[in-house]
């Protein structure tokens, strides 16, 4: 099930004297998060307009419209920020991790249900899907194994490599 809002990062502290905040990004690269003109905060997903943002030591320093002092910025400390899924275009065969969590994983040839994706490990070379079923399986996220990913249908079809499940 696609989520309208996706966790993008967490405001960890204030920065400087002009009301800027320091954000720990939940994205692959902090540069990606620094490109957004708007983010959302809180359970009600209140829109925040980002006046400017830059990357500093793998963090994002951002100036939120209407937040002009360290005291104003302090109110946002430890708050989770969200992005709207429509604000980001993904390449083909690229997915939001949050859309994969809970997805059923079946064998493309036999229809056997292996379980559900409970985590995605980012290893550098390729992601690895952690599947929880009768036991825990680790599936490399490579085209030879992952045959089809249907986010709307909440189903992934795989063709395990020889010996993968032994």
**Interatomic CA distance for residues 104 and 155, integer angstroms:** 5
**Positive or negative torsion for Cα 115, 117, 123, 126:** positive
* Residue 56 belongs to domain spanning: 5-87
pLDDT tens profile 6-24: 888 999 999 999 999 999 9
Q: Has residue 1 got a pLDDT over 60? A: no
CATH number at residue 141: 2.30.30.240
Residue 164 lies in a domain: no
| Residues 54 and 112 placed together within one structural domain of the fold | no
In total, the chain counts a number of residues equal to: 166
Q: Which residues, including other chains, have CB under 8 Å from residue 43's CB and lie 6 or more apart?
A: none
Q: Has residue 5 got a pLDDT over 60? A: yes
Under the banding of pLDDT at 50, 70 and 90, the label for residue 161 is confident
Q: Give the helix ranges, DSSP H, for 16-166.
A: 30-34, 70-74, 97-100
Under the banding of pLDDT at 50, 70 and 90, the label for residue 51 is very high
| Residues 83 and 31 placed together within one structural domain of the fold | yes
How many domains are contained in the chain?
A: 2
| Residues 61 and 103 placed together within one structural domain of the fold | no
| Residues 13 and 75 placed together within one structural domain of the fold | yes
Mean pLDDT throughout 138-155?
Answer: 90
| Residues 57 and 35 placed together within one structural domain of the fold | yes
At residue 162, the pLDDT reads 82
Residue 92 lies in a domain: no
Residue 163 lies in a domain: no
| Residues 61 and 27 placed together within one structural domain of the fold | yes
| Residues 72 and 132 placed together within one structural domain of the fold | no
- When comparing pLDDT for 165 and 75, which is higher? 75
From 59, 87, 115, give the residue that closes a domain: 87
CATH number at residue 26: 2.40.30.60
| Residues 140 and 122 placed together within one structural domain of the fold | yes
| Residues 9 and 82 placed together within one structural domain of the fold | yes
Mean pLDDT throughout 124-152?
Answer: 89
Q: Which of 59-63, 93-97, 153-157 has the lowest mean pLDDT?
A: 93-97
C-alpha distances in angstroms, 99 versus 27, 71, 156?
A: 14, 36, 11
pTM of the predicted structure, to 2 decimals: 0.66
Q: Has residue 75 got a pLDDT over 60? A: yes
């Amino acid at each position: 099930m696609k989520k309208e809002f996706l966790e993008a990062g967490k405001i960890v502290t204030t920065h400087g004297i002009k009301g800027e905040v320091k954000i720990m990004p939940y994205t692959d690269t902090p540069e990606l998060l620094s490109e957004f003109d708007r983010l959302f905060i809180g359970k009600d997903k209140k829109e925040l307009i980002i006046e400017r943002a830059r990357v500093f030591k793998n963090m994002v320093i951002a100036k939120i419209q209407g937040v002009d002092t360290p005291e104003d910025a302090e109110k946002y400390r430890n708050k989770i920020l969200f992005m709207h899924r429509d604000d980001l275009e993904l390449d083909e065969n690229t997915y939001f991790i949050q859309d994969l969590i809970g997805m059923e994983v079946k064998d493309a040839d036999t229809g056997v249900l292996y379980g559900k994706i409970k985590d995605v490990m980012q290893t550098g070379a390729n992601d690895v899907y952690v599947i929880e079923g009768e036991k825990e399986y680790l599936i490399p996220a490579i085209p030879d194994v992952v045959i089809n990913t249907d986010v709307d249908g909440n189903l992934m079809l795989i063709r395990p490599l020889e010996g993968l499940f032994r």
